[in-house]
A and B are shown apart, each in its own frame.
Chain A
Amino acid sequence: MYKSVSLSVLFHVVFVIATIVSLPFVKKEPITAQQLIAIDIIQISEKTQLPFAPKAREIIEKIKKEKEKRVVTKQAPPKITPKEKPKAIPLPDKLKIKSEEEKKKQNPEEIKELNRQSSEFEKKELFDPNKISALIDKSKEETAEIQKKQSLELTQNQDSSVDLNKGITLSQEDAIKAQIYKCWNIPLGLPFDQNLLVRIRLTLRPNGSITSSEILDHARMNQPGQGFYKVLAESALRAVKLCDPLKMPTTGYEKWKDLQLNFDAKEMLKG
């Protein structure tokens, strides 16, 4: 009798524990003061439009000054309840339902991490000058509308960076550039008024080491009267070899395994 009772108790205990562990809805999540994060998908590429961090910093400064005039993009989320009113914080289950609804609307299969646009509130609270590079992408997206209206001095070239096929962000591009700049000894005697663009195609391993480097206009190097081109091309090849291995992004190897570097010293030689 006792044996059967104890077996039954044991069996029930095991069953209840198994149920708690395997069925998550039974487990109650602690109520935490989570901030509503609005997710907004806009039609841009993974590539940012800002070439330089200082420029981004300038724009961020401008945004700060003119936050009253801020134009919210068409797809901006509804106004978020301010933090000062704790009563308005939605319950976790409601929050969950809401975010699930939003995800459904936005087709989660197509969402990429870099496309995420932060809310105004989040930016206000989480602004950290030390993480300026991380903010570049966000700030660019935010100011897209403002820049159009205020006719900021963005070149056509920069605007045309809305390229869905581009593999790397401008921040990543800048990081690669910075490495090559240090390695490239520009031959000082070259004329600046000649077309001396040297294009080098690189193939990279996932760790950034170079498996092959090829000058695309190689035939030009041996043509008569192309001494300056040859000198520039050789200096560019030396730069590539000096920089091997390149520090590349840890993700997206497929996107950057083939690189083309266009070496042009015209502006530097002009002085």
Chain B
Amino acid sequence: MKKFYLTFFSILFFTQASFALVKIDITRGNLEPLPAAISKFYMEDPSKFSAELKALKLEKKIPELISNNLKRSGLFHIIDPKSYIQSPNIAHVKPTFQDWALIKAQIMVSGKLVIDSKKRLRVEFRLWDVIAGKEIEGLALFATPSSWRRISHIISDKIYERMTGELGYFDTRIIYVAETGSKTQRVKRLAIMDQDGANNKYLTLGNELVLTPRFNPTAQMITYMSYFKNLPRVYLLNIETGMQEVVGDFPGMTFAPRFSPDGKKIIMSFAKDGNSDIYSMDVATRVVEQLTTHPSIDTSPSYSFDGKYITFNSDRSGAQQIYVMRSDGSNAKRISFGEGLYGTPVWSPRGDLIAFTKIYKGSFYIGVMRSDGSGERLLTQNYYQEAPSWSPNGRVLIFYRETKSGKSEIGGSSSLWSIDLTGYNERKIKTLTDASDPAWSGLLSK
């Protein structure tokens, strides 16, 4: 009997062990945006809300703004709120996941508005994984009712970050040149707005021509070029105080300024006697250092994310191409070798890519390449477009585009556009006037 059991179990064991674990490689999937449901927010104890606050209808507007942000990113598909079955109060406390799975939502966002004992507005939100049936993110924010847009952007960033693994870019602003008037008497003003086009404000009056505004990544400061009294100079402007000052007073023309990643230096071009070179200036000490000395036009400099390298464009090879050098100006190396002309290189905040404008056979392209020049990828093509600027997470580019105009075919209306790195999610950004030269700020809530 003992022998029988021994044999029986031995056979059983070896039969089991003879099959190796089946391993299957899943290398393909669905590249559609993630289906998401953003539930209406729940107002706890509405009697505590003032009539003014009730009139704002934040319980509806906040989820709407979050939906718009996520939809615009191209990574989320927002399911029509008309199909939501659960009421907001239940959805926020204990959602029935089957109800959300029924409408094919994979994630769901719920929220609650509370007036606390100190009469402050408290906005809570929860992010639910419908398929796993659990809460994966939750946050409470205090705000004044007027800052509800900012709160919505911060919530959008949290959702984006949790679902993509990278920083969001919704709580950011865009500075650009607002253009009005006829072609011959164009008025150009500096303007700033939220990344979704709301809260537009003008920073200059339009008496002088302004160009190439750029954000300081670490402070509420911008640098730009202006023709004050017909002298082209680089300026610094504090957005909060409105204080403005000229950066150095050189005998020639200074242009194309840009901050270093730590915000301590400004790098720019300085042109004199038909030659243009790249200079850097310490913002605090105003000490200027010449970085290139080549007898050609070197311009559009941009620091790498770690500040160790600079990319710029130069015609030293006979045609305008993109170069990379160390931040002290040494070891300049050409990286663009494709057909056509390359300009306005901008290093991604992620460090992996350089965005550029390419001119080829009469068309303008916005593209990206790796910092060694490999992997060139053109994202969009048009009649005239240039000046790409990166979102703080290095995933989206903003640029401006001009349409053809009448007989001259130069300088029609100009507008701002964004495109993500896939090249599929191209969107026009609403501005009050014609717009050009956009630049994206860092995250405000960093």
Contact = CB atoms under 8 A, between A and B. Distances in A.
Interface in B126-149: 129, 131-132, 136
Given A230-B165, A264-B25, A184 B129 contact: no
Interface string A213-250: 00000000000000111111010111101100000000
B29 A185 contact: yes
Interface in A150-182: 163, 165-168, 173, 176-177, 180-182
Contacts of A256: 22
B193 interface: no
Interface residues of A, number: 49
Interface of B: 15-16, 18-35, 74-75, 106, 129, 131-132, 136, 161-166, 352, 395, 422
A268 B27 contact: yes
29 contacts: A165-B18, A177-B26, A181-B30, A184-B26, A185-B106, A188-B33, A188-B422, A189-B164, A190-B164, A190-B165, A193-B352, A227-B166, A228-B166, A230-B165, A231-B163, A234-B129, A236-B26, A238-B106, A254-B19, A255-B22, A258-B22, A259-B22, A260-B22, A260-B24, A261-B26, A262-B24, A264-B25, A264-B26, A268-B29
B165 A173 contact: no
A255 B19 contact: yes
Contact of A185 (B24, B26, B34, B132): B34
A258 B31 contact: no
A254 B18 CA distance: 10
A53 B182 CA distance: 63
Contacts of A180: 24, 26, 29
A271 B19 CA distance: 36
Q: Which of B33, B131, B352 lies at the interface centre, i.e. has the most chain A CB atoms within 10 A of its CB?
A: B131
Contacts of A189: 75, 164-166, 395
B31 A181 contact: no
A21 B131 CA distance: 62
A14 to B, nearest CB: 43
B27 A264 contact: yes
B33 A231 contact: no
A228 B20 CA distance: 30
A186 B30 contact: yes
Nearest to A227: B165
Contacts of A181: 26, 28-30
B107 to A, nearest CB: 9
A111 to B, nearest CB: 17
Nearest to B75: A188
Contact of A165 (B19, B34, B395): B19
A121 interface: no
A187 interface: yes
Q: Which of B18, B26, B34, B395 lies at the interface centre, i.e. has the most chain A CB atoms within 10 A of its CB?
A: B26
B165 A167 contact: no
Nearest to A260: B23
A54 to B, nearest CB: 15
B304 to A, nearest CB: 17
A258 B19 CA distance: 10
B427 to A, nearest CB: 15
A256 B19 CA distance: 9
Q: Rank and list the top 4 A-B pairs by shortest CB-CB distance, nearest first.
A: A184-B29, A189-B164, A227-B165, A228-B165
A192 to B, nearest CB: 10
Contacts of B20: 163, 165-167
Given A188-B422, A190-B165, A263 B26 contact: yes
A239 B132 CA distance: 10
Contacts of A238: 106, 129, 131-132
Contacts of A232: 165
B76 to A, nearest CB: 9
